[in-house]
Structure 1
Amino acid sequence: MTASLRNSPAIHWTLFPNPNASSQVPQIGLPKPAFFPCSRRGLPFLVKAELTPAASTSTRQDRLGRRQVLSVGPITTWVSLLYSTSSSFAAEAKKGFLTVVDKKDGYSFLYPFGWQEVVIEGQDKVFKDVIEPLESVSVNMVPTIKQDIRDLGSPQEVAQALIKKVLVPPSQKSKLVEATEHDVDGKTYYTFEFVAQASNFTRHALGAISIGNGKFYTITTGANERRWGKMKDKLNTVIDSFKIFNV
């Protein structure tokens, strides 16, 4: 029941309207190990006013100094409360994750706190762990004239074709573990799990695909097989969080 993007006219002409465009779709492959500097986030600060007493300080200057200190106090409190409120709100949204909302292309998802954004040609968004380079999430889109992901085939057929043609380089062995279908707010998503084996590592990965805004969306995330047990819950959170909205 497997199908190939290369051999299926329905998939070929809807994902790649240009007959020559299929060869131009970038191999998403596994990212090469790389290290990137971690950015530091701003910390809450306190505003403090100090007055240096002079030998001939007047009573009026003393009163002015006291007013400056008193006026700074509420500012300090306001800044601290503002920072505290923002942090609490973010934590309540999903502890340990940050949110990406792309209002231009119409999608959103969560990624683990600490992953850094990097630029990879052919990908719309990529975030990865700087210590474990196989732990990453990427989003890609190609035009399509189809309105629903089910028009391309079953979850197993579409996932298998995508893995073989786009997500895994020809030099690696791949295996589709499972593929399922679910609806969110009236939109159909296919989610799937697969394994890609290279000569020196094995990557366990998850993906989700859907159609909207005239585009075929793909999000993939994964980790080294040796860390799959530790990372699978986080990676499932990333995939389950992926949503498409109209733009």
Structure 2
Amino acid sequence: MASLKLSPSPPVSIPKRNGGFVGRRRISLVVRSEQAPHFSASDVLQDKCSRRQIMSFGVIAPCISLLSEAQPSFAAETKKGFIAVYDKKDGYSFLYPFGWQEVAIAGQDKVFKDVIEPLESVSVNLFPTNKQTIKEFGPPQQVAETLIKKVLAPMNQKTNLIEASEHDVDGKTYYQFEFTAQARNYTRHALSAITVSDGKFYTLTTGANERRWEKMKERLHAVVDSFKIS
């Protein structure tokens, strides 16, 4: 089984950090506006088609065609009660619950969280890797256990892997897993999705306080299931 090493040349082990990911990207304090707006692509197209400049059917027809093509693909990426994030630079997208706020955290590529319940959050991070697929790191359970202990939870917390699975989307393999991390005063129940693409090891992790898991689990599953690499 290949060891879990994420840098391209020479490979090094996943960096450790008590409390979360360790990254090399400098985080800007300016919130990036790459998340999807609160209107759909079809709204924009309809607005363009209704402008006074459209004077003939020969101009209207292409707009109708664009609308029919845009609606099915966009509908698959949106969900009521969620906001979509599209990171064109790093080539990934996901959903997060409406009301969460974006925050800047050193070492993390993107983070959204609930300001009242801080354990309710989603974070995305990237590491360089010379692997071509997530399968090269090993089976889902083994990779999940390594990530949880070395990256996703502080070293002083007791962790438990509940389940791990593998699935393919558009020819790309993703691992998903569920785990808990127990601190002295709380337990966080979390879900993660990981994959490899174009020399990058992607991780998305979302979760909530164990006491709110039953209330939040459907929304958190929607978040982790929405994670896609373009």
Equivalent position of 1:95 in the other structure: 80
CA contact (8 A) 2:82 2:96 kept: yes
- Pair 1:11-2:11 in alignment: no
Checking the alignment, whether the CA contact within 8 Å between 1:189 and 1:210 is kept in structure 2 is yes
2-structure distance, mates of 1:20, 1:153: 16
Superposed, 1:1-247 pairs within 5 Å as 10-12=3-5, 15-17=6-8, 22=13, 24-29=15-20, 93-245=78-230
Could you say what secondary structure the match of 2:89 adopts? coil
Deviation at 1:180, TM superposition (A): 0.1
| Distance across 2 between alignment mates of 1:225 and 1:203 | 5
Q: Does structure 1 conserve the Cα–Cα contact (< 8 Å) formed by 2:108 and 2:124?
A: yes
Which ranges in structure 2 are unaligned for 5 or more consecutive residues?
Answer: 22-50, 52-73
Count of aligned pairs: 182
1:152/1:207 CA distance change after superposition, 3 Å: same
Counterpart of 2:4, as a letter, is I
TM-score by structure 1 length? Answer: 0.68
Unaligned runs of 5+ in 1: 1-7, 31-77, 79-88
Structure 1 runs of 4+ off > 3 angstroms? 16-30
CA 1:28–1:106 in structure 2 vs 1: closer, same or farther (change >3 Å)?
A: farther
The 3-state SS of whatever aligns with 1:226 is helix
Listed one character per residue, the Cα deviations across residues 35-66 of structure 1 (whole Å, up to 9, x for unaligned) are xxxxxxxxxxxxxxxxxxxxxxxxxxxxxxxx
Displacement of 1:16 in angstroms is: 3.2
Contact 1:106 1:244 in 2 (8 A): yes
Q: What TM-score, normalized by structure 2, do the two folds share?
A: 0.72
Which of the pair is proportionally richer in helix?
A: 1
The whole-number CA distance in structure 2 between the counterparts of 1:161 and 1:122 is 19
8 Å contact 1:208–1:219 — kept in the other structure?
Answer: yes
The answer to whether the 8 Å contact 1:26/1:122 transfers is: no
CA-atom RMSD, angstroms? 2.8
2:82 maps to amino acid: F
**8 A contact 2:14–2:150 mirrored in 1:** no
Q: Percent identity?
A: 67
Match of 1:123, SS state, is coil
Q: Partner of 1:145: helix, strand, or coil?
A: coil
